[in-house]
Structure 1
């Protein structure tokens, strides 16, 4: 920077006026505020950009520039500055004389006078329309992006809720999410008629042949003024579009006019009344119309998604419009609702299909397994549970055979896989083993024959198995067990806190025996326990099978129960909280009348059995109760035995499927639970006229407090014995 060599010479006279006149920045001069600030002069740039020239000053004088601003948010503050004679800058919009709309950035500076308020103002105006338009486009683009992100987030949240339809309020929560787009939304399911739904009953059948809506709901009750809060029907009865939507005649969505007339028992009529009542109660507005989307499954419409988009009637009868969504609602609202309805239909159908397949698979699996077996001279308890993570049938099985008096056959096996093919292979092996077990006595020879037959049958799945025979000794309570293992884990022998692995008789998998099978042997005495199991009891992804077997041995050594069912319950509680595979478990115990009389308080105070729906199960249930009362130190009660007999008999006579028996020691009495697949509740009757029976529940009522509740697809009946009934 160089220093000035002398004073700056003054500008020539008139130079500033000429410079401002030819400047590229539009400039103008106005009069005083008190005179309305009329435009007195404009330069050439102002004339070019605004279309207002010197010849238009007369017109501009009548229309001050500042009065062209209609939507300036800072107008009042700017006028205060002008009134006070302070400089001001602001953005203004207005329409020019040629009709163009434009945005200007205007700067006003007062020109000092001799005294008093400024009599002249000098201003510059820059056209910023392009900048404002660009900024508006950017804001609009950001708003579109924000809205799309919000829509995707809403769809993601609904998808997450639809992933767990066992949650009882999944549909209610999804409807609440949709109320970010519309003032009101709600789901209806079409399960034997329309029904407003907060959640989904996954036990209902998946989509099939739909039935017509037949549910009738009366008009809403009158309010305090004696009037019903519903819109008046102003039209002739209209076509039942909701029924058409439910039957798939139309794809939808359909607009349901709530001021139209419909037959009382029609789907549209019922939905109209229910929507009016719900929307009025929740929003206080009276809707005129709703949009109804089909919630469709694979074969039929499973329900409806109704959304009210804000048009309604206020209390004074005037038509109102909700602020959200505004008039001219964007298409994305309808798109999001349609996506949610479609995903809800698919999720509901999949959940119901999965639940049905799970029930069918478990029923098929259990049908292939023998039920709880009682063997003379032995305490036997069996258990099977499929892996809860899949709905496929598995290949685990067990069998307990009373071959003849004093001889029992026992087999536990596992076919590779969890599909129908594995179940079929399991069924074939079970039949083959049963056939040879009744023909041959030595386990090694039985499995040799099974190998030969399986090789010829070309069963596609490999399988492991343990087969054992237990023979009662004639000279006392001792038993001899002979066994052979075909690639299966060794049974365990529990005796006085010591666990022995019966590792003899080892051989290859079924169908792969290249040499004669060997047979192991062990002697059993009073109090001894045999454990037969499949690898699902001990197998985990985070540990080896050997580590799992060591854990089973350790848990077995700490067992305190004095009955087979108690031993099984202790093992399940310690090892099978979250099994990763199917679990089959067979516990055989040689009773010890002396030791069994001792009370073992550390034993689990719950027991379970699975019984077939046949009369013989009544006797088995009575025997199980007596044995459990003895193990728990409870008095052997004829009342408890009688209550169990009546509940199980009721399940055998009136239920179907398997019967689950559970016993609990509550600390102040015995609780008995019996579950069957018949959802109909038990009823106390006065007996059957002209024939014997019908007093079962009356007997239970005299001896116990009882009740029932739905359980799965059936029911569970419970009875808590009165304190005076035990003993």
Structure 2
């Protein structure tokens, strides 16, 4: 029956006004019969025909399945069918398809028509909500995009925060974990430091960026260089010849000697569990995405990631790739900066230490010297000291400080040290020496002002006659029996600014007395003035009980130099007393010396151990002299640079530590065939417990000699 532009079957319960009303509705409406699980269409209005493009004759008697498309959510369709089977109305939004194949979003409402308690038909209303859904999708996409941008900015900010502590040994691992939490499935950094390797942090001791190098994980004689354009893409990235990102297949047939083959095998075995690599990959990963970590002049290494969806470059969206690119750039810059700064620091410190004299052995005097740059702030300054044997009965002591904390300050210090040293040998009276230095420095145009104290000591009976002159420097301390005198006379302006002849002052130093020379780094703090710092040092010096120069110095350092804010240089000169052997020392049970890398240091180390054992009443450590002799001899023969000697009272013996700049560990041998020697570590092994550990730029070897009386 056709009525008012509608089409219905003879069994449709619509007539008169209801049929006219539904026909007039400007939304698609159709009616289905309820045939116990089947719902054939029995009536449609004209709006349905216009909207869907299906004519009444095409749909009559068929179920509404012709409106479904390939993108229709079948779960939503099943929910509608379940409601109709239960005789309950329902409204859902689903993706539909018109007769010409064009998709549209429809809000579908099904309502039952009943005859008494039985559902006989269903009225189905379709509302086209395509524009609304598109707007919602666009809004959702915009919200998601903004959320991703906020997340990306947050990640970059967190990466920057972590890089503020680039010296932390786990910084790069923390950045990788941060990327895993917010961006990718897995991430790890690989730096090309003498070979490509996974790293948790940055080795500041590696060289700053320079010319590109091969990955270096195979011996040079096994490297097979293939000149094909795509022979080794990972090496090309390291050489700066290929940009990232690059997808590396883990199951690769590339040569194991290539960077690509080495990395693919390393990560491939990590994924299958064949190794215990700390950067273990998920088992289902077949490839990783690599991005170069750029330095200033070469690529420092790689960032390897596994995207969250899929495993290739194609699934890295623009936002993710942007964050990863910003991350590797920031990491590369931070690594370059910390290495460059560390290199400058090492250069300045090496220059400064090379210009510092070795601790002098002076007949009739106990001398101890100490210097430490302010490593906490990576500063290197112009502090220096000098101990000179001018003549058999004349000793010169100089301590000074050049303004600044850089290579220029260290260079200026070297110039001044040379000028003062040469002048002292020609003129022993301190005031006259500094007057001459003023003139020389003015002519040399030394770029930094400096202060110093120059002291000459002459034997005088059982003691020493001390003459001194100060050029803008803090006064040395003279301690006798707990009473402290500041040698504050003969003061004058900084070196180079003296216009009038400088003066000298004199005092006598008797057996048991000691002198303390120091730079302002020992006492200067932000929360107190220099005057208060000198007063604190004066109080400490008056309460010292140590009977040797090294013990005096250690007690001063332990009470005043726990957290220095500047470089620290200290020289302690003590005149041995007649009752030193019978008195007990209450000084800190630690001693340290810096010795030159020359054979004479072996004897000096033995004397240091004997003197310390007497001060600490460690008569039961007779083997310690032989042990320290062997350790220092090894450092002199096989190391390079200065040798640092440290002694500790462990309560049940003496711990000896010897540090040098050679990182190669010591080994016990059966001697050297055809020549004498080679048994040093065997001797140490028989007489003491010993071991070693890496130290900054070298190694530290320790040995513990037990006190046989305890």
Q: TM-score range by the shorter chain?
A: 0.7 to 0.9
- The runs of 5 or more residues in structure 1 that have no matched partner are 1-12, 218-235, 311-321
SS in 1 for 2:119: coil
Counterpart pick for 1:679 among 663, 670, 678: 663
Give CA-to-partner distance per residue, 1:444-477, whole Å, 9 cap, x none: 2222222222223332321111122223322x2x
Stretch deviating more after TM superposition (299-308 or 617-626):
299-308
Shift of 1:259: 4.5
Aligned CA distance change for structure 1 residues 460 and 179 (closer, same or farther; 3 Å): closer
Shift of 1:250: 3.0
State how far apart, in whole Å, the 1-side matches of 2:332 and 2:164 are: 12
Task: Determine if the alignment matches structure 1 residue 710 to structure 2 residue 694.
Answer: yes
State how far apart, in whole Å, the 1-side matches of 2:687 and 2:650 are: 16
Shift of 1:128: 2.0
State how far apart, in whole Å, the 2-side matches of 1:328 and 1:523 are: 83
Shift of 1:15: 6.6
State how far apart, in whole Å, the 1-side matches of 2:148 and 2:190 are: 28
The match for 2:705 is 721
Give CA-to-partner distance per residue, 1:301-347, whole Å, 9 cap, x none: 3333334458xxxxxxxxxxx66789754244444444434444333
Q: Does the aligned pair in 1 maintain the 2:366–2:575 contact within 8 Å?
A: yes
Task: Determine if the alignment matches structure 1 residue 483 to structure 2 residue 475.
Answer: no
Map 1:203-602 → 2, pairs under 5 A: 203-213=205-215, 215-216=217-218, 239-281=231-273, 282-283=280-281, 285=283, 287-308=285-306, 328-391=315-378, 393-474=380-461, 476=462, 478-595=463-580, 597-601=582-586
The match for 2:9 is none
Q: Does the aligned pair in 1 maintain the 2:307–2:315 contact within 8 Å?
A: no
The match for 2:105 is 103
SS in 2 for 1:109: strand
The match for 1:126 is 127
Q: Does the aligned pair in 2 maintain the 1:39–1:57 contact within 8 Å?
A: no
Give CA-to-partner distance per residue, 1:246-304, whole Å, 9 cap, x none: 33343344443445433343333333322221122245646544433333433333333
Stretch deviating more after TM superposition (281-290 or 507-516):
281-290
State how far apart, in whole Å, the 1-side matches of 2:192 and 2:346 are: 22
Shift of 1:93: 2.6
Q: Does the aligned pair in 2 maintain the 1:357–1:392 contact within 8 Å?
A: no
Counterpart pick for 2:600 among 609, 612, 616: 616
Aligned CA distance change for structure 1 residues 537 and 254 (closer, same or farther; 3 Å): same
Shift of 1:497: 3.2
SS in 1 for 2:503: coil
SS in 1 for 2:426: coil
Aligned CA distance change for structure 1 residues 687 and 24 (closer, same or farther; 3 Å): closer
Q: Does the aligned pair in 1 maintain the 2:550–2:591 contact within 8 Å?
A: yes
The TM-score, its normalising length taken from structure 1, stands at 0.84
Q: Does the aligned pair in 2 maintain the 1:237–1:261 contact within 8 Å?
A: no
State how far apart, in whole Å, the 2-side matches of 1:86 and 1:75 are: 14
Map 1:52-201 → 2, pairs under 5 A: 56=56, 59-64=59-64, 68=68, 70-71=72-73, 73-113=75-115, 115-179=116-180, 181-201=183-203
State how far apart, in whole Å, the 1-side matches of 2:214 and 2:78 are: 65
Shift of 1:159: 4.1
Q: Does the aligned pair in 1 maintain the 2:452–2:470 contact within 8 Å?
A: yes
SS in 1 for 2:577: coil
State how far apart, in whole Å, the 2-side matches of 1:301 and 1:350 are: 14
Aligned CA distance change for structure 1 residues 274 and 45 (closer, same or farther; 3 Å): same
Q: Does the aligned pair in 1 maintain the 2:247–2:312 contact within 8 Å?
A: no
Shift of 1:619: 2.4
Q: Does the aligned pair in 1 maintain the 2:620–2:707 contact within 8 Å?
A: no
Q: Does the aligned pair in 2 maintain the 1:237–1:262 contact within 8 Å?
A: no
Q: Does the aligned pair in 1 maintain the 2:348–2:406 contact within 8 Å?
A: no
Q: Does the aligned pair in 1 maintain the 2:108–2:124 contact within 8 Å?
A: yes
SS in 2 for 1:657: coil
SS in 1 for 2:253: coil
State how far apart, in whole Å, the 1-side matches of 2:312 and 2:80 are: 35
SS in 2 for 1:438: helix
Q: Does the aligned pair in 2 maintain the 1:105–1:126 contact within 8 Å?
A: yes
Stretch deviating more after TM superposition (522-531 or 30-39):
30-39
Stretch deviating more after TM superposition (181-190 or 402-411):
181-190
State how far apart, in whole Å, the 2-side matches of 1:357 and 1:430 are: 22
The match for 2:10 is none
Stretch deviating more after TM superposition (60-69 or 377-386):
60-69
State how far apart, in whole Å, the 2-side matches of 1:40 and 1:267 are: 72
SS in 1 for 2:470: strand
- The runs of 5 or more residues in structure 2 that have no matched partner are 1-14, 220-227, 274-279
Matched residue count: 679
SS in 2 for 1:507: coil
Q: Does the aligned pair in 1 maintain the 2:479–2:541 contact within 8 Å?
A: yes
Give CA-to-partner distance per residue, 1:676-711, whole Å, 9 cap, x none: 112233343444556554443333233222222222
Give CA-to-partner distance per residue, 1:23-45, whole Å, 9 cap, x none: 55655544446474444445565
